[in-house]
Amino acid sequence: MSVLFIFLPFILILGAITSYEDVKHGKIRNKWVILALIIALTINFILLLAGRISLNYLIRLFSLFFVSFLGGFALWYIKMWSSGDAKLFAAYIALIPLEIYPTFDFFPTYLIVCTFIPAFFISSITLLARTTLKQKLSSLKQAISLKSIASLFITVFAASWLISAILLFFRIPLNFVFTLVGIILLLKLISYAESKFLKKQISMPLFLAISIFRIILEFNQLSSFNFWKAFFILTIGFAMFRMFILDLSGIFTIPVKIADLKKGMIPADLIINARGYRKIQANAYKGEKNILYNITPEGLSEEEIKKLKALFAKGKFNFNALNIHQTAPFAPYLFLGVLITLLLKYTFVF
């Protein structure tokens, strides 16, 4: 009997409970994550004693869990998902046997890809259904401007080269989806570094320099028809992501009165204290000076809400509401990604 069937009931129970609670209450409780880790540890030690797995297997599994734990919290640190999502991701890694992954099992790339692909398509369909024709045309017009197209080509040309080098280093097959996901994560990381540490934008000069360097080093390869075919497909895929997920997703906000703010709500606005308090769209502000709160996947804290309500009560604001993102719970996407990973197993190809 496959080791997977020993872990499968616990994977399904963890997925069902955390998905329900994330949808119902908007949070993933630590007790389920801790219980899953205890179960994974106990079962693996029993399997080791029974001779079903080797000590080398256990070491590789712990190495995978450790890297996944760090990787998950790196995504939380750059605000790609919440800390609860990061912990749940690590719990799934502990419960999934190594037999599920191909030879490059040091990092569970399949699970990440199997999670983000459904999330991308479901989000795209939702955005298409819920946005007006005017909103779609406005986003499309902005996406196909000459400046946007030039920026898009340079970004994908340079970033895809960097991601390819990283994938080859970890012995991960080069394909469309892995490269696209890698580009998205790389851009998110650079954007975070620009706002957090550099206080200025460096992405375009950096990608332009990398593009020139790539042309010099790979001039002969760039003359291949297959290269440009793959490049244009990748560029179109990234353009769709940027248009639908980034541009149109900003539309889904609702005004919430400051008096009605609750813990966990994620503002689409920032409040800046510069010669008086004023409200601006978060995506229009790159700095971190004089702001009353940071926008994180966890949303507003109790302390931040108390501070906002106190300032509002004192008449410091000339507005009475904030635009709040209408967010979707991510635990069901993670659970779906796990199920897809288990179903596809070694046959997951692009």
* Predicted confidence band of residue 335 (pLDDT cuts 50, 70, 90): very high
pLDDT at 199: 66
Residues 163, 80, single domain; the answer is no
pLDDT at 287: 57
* Residue 81 structural domain: 4-100
User: Do 140 and 243 form a contact (C-beta atoms < 8 A)?
Assistant: yes
Say how far apart CA 139 and CA 142 lie, in whole Å: 5
pLDDT cut 70: percent of the chain above it: 85
Residue 13 domain flag: yes
Task: Please state which of the ranges 88-102, 118-132, 256-270 shows the lowest mean pLDDT.
Answer: 118-132
For residue 289, CA distances in Å to 12, 274, 316 come to 45, 9, 18
pLDDT at 209: 94
Q: Which helix (H) or strand (E) holds 226?
A: helix 225-240
Residues 60, 95, single domain; the answer is yes
Residues 269, 289, single domain; the answer is yes
Residues 199, 133, single domain; the answer is yes
pLDDT at 15: 96
Rounded mean pLDDT, 290-294: 82
pLDDT exceeds cutoff 50 at 228? yes
Residues 125, 176, single domain; the answer is yes
Cut 0.85: pTM above it: no
For residue 189, CA distances in Å to 74, 121, 193 come to 9, 23, 6
Residue 113 domain flag: no
Rounded mean pLDDT, 7-31: 93
pLDDT exceeds cutoff 80 at 111? no
Residues 134, 96, single domain; the answer is no
Residues 238, 278, single domain; the answer is no
Alpha helix stretches (DSSP H) within the chain: 4-25, 30-49, 55-77, 83-95, 109-130, 133-143, 146-169, 176-193, 203-217, 225-240, 302-313, 331-344
Rounded mean pLDDT, 218-226: 86
- Tell me how many domains the chain contains: 3
Residues 175, 67, single domain; the answer is no
Residue 270 domain flag: yes
Residue 219 domain flag: yes
Residues 237, 263, single domain; the answer is no
pLDDT at 34: 96
Note the pLDDT tens digit of each residue in 47-92: 999 999 999 989 988 888 888 888 788 778 777 788 899 999 999 9
* Predicted confidence band of residue 144 (pLDDT cuts 50, 70, 90): low
Residue 106 domain flag: no
pLDDT exceeds cutoff 60 at 106? no
Domain end position, chosen among 43, 71, 100: 100
pLDDT at 350: 39
User: Do 323 and 262 form a contact (C-beta atoms < 8 A)?
Assistant: no
